[in-house]
């Protein structure tokens, strides 16, 4: 491997994007994908509707993750507002701190949902293969 082919400027920019920009952009992307998934739930080609008759409990659990992610920002804002107004000291910092935790909540919960969704996708692919 030659060092002449490596563009260190692009490497540094890519590393900075992955370490700084992505963690701040992913929560919104996860949140928007969740809202889209909830609005397309009744689509007959979605994984949930394909497997709902065979695995209703499993599909329901995956849908619960979507529901919690969809509610995290509105509820988090209300909790931050309440905690900020009722804080004895540093009410604004309490408000901002809870907002930051709320902002990054979809990252954690989305990761857990995706771990469960892996088996849901596998089941839907196996069902499609079996039907062919």
Q: What is the mean pLDDT of the chain?
A: 86
Query: For the chain, what are the domain ranges?
Result: 25-131
Question: Is the C-alpha dihedral spanning 21, 23, 24, 29 positive or negative?
Answer: positive
pLDDT at 83 over 80: yes
Over residues 16-25, mean pLDDT: 91
Greater pLDDT, 74 or 62: 74
Measured from the Cβ of residue 59, the count of other Cβ atoms closer than 10 Å reads 21
Query: What's the distance, Cα to Cα, between the start and end of the chain in Å?
Result: 45
**Could you tell me which residues come within 8 angstroms of residue 77 by beta carbon, excluding any fewer than 6 positions away?**
99, 102
CA distances to 4, 19, 22, 30, 104 from 15, rounded to whole Å, are: 19, 6, 10, 21, 20
Kindly indicate the confidence band of residue 61, based on its pLDDT and cuts at 50, 70 and 90. Answer: confident
């Amino acid at each position: 491997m030659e060092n002449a082919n490596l563009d260190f400027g692009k490497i540094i920019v890519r590393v900075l994007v992955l370490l700084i920009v992505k963690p701040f952009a992913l929560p919104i992307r996860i949140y928007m994908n969740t809202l889209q998934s909830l609005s397309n739930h009744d689509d007959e080609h979605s994984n949930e509707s394909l497997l709902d008759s065979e695995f209703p409990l499993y599909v329901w659990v995956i849908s619960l993750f979507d529901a919690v992610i969809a509610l995290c920002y509105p509820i988090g804002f209300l909790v931050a507002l309440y905690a900020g107004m009722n804080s004895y000291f540093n009410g604004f910092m309490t408000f901002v701190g809870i907002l930051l935790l709320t902002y990054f909540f979809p990252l954690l919960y989305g990761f857990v949902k995706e771990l469960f969704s892996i088996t849901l996708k596998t089941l839907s692919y196996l069902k499609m293969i079996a039907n062919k």
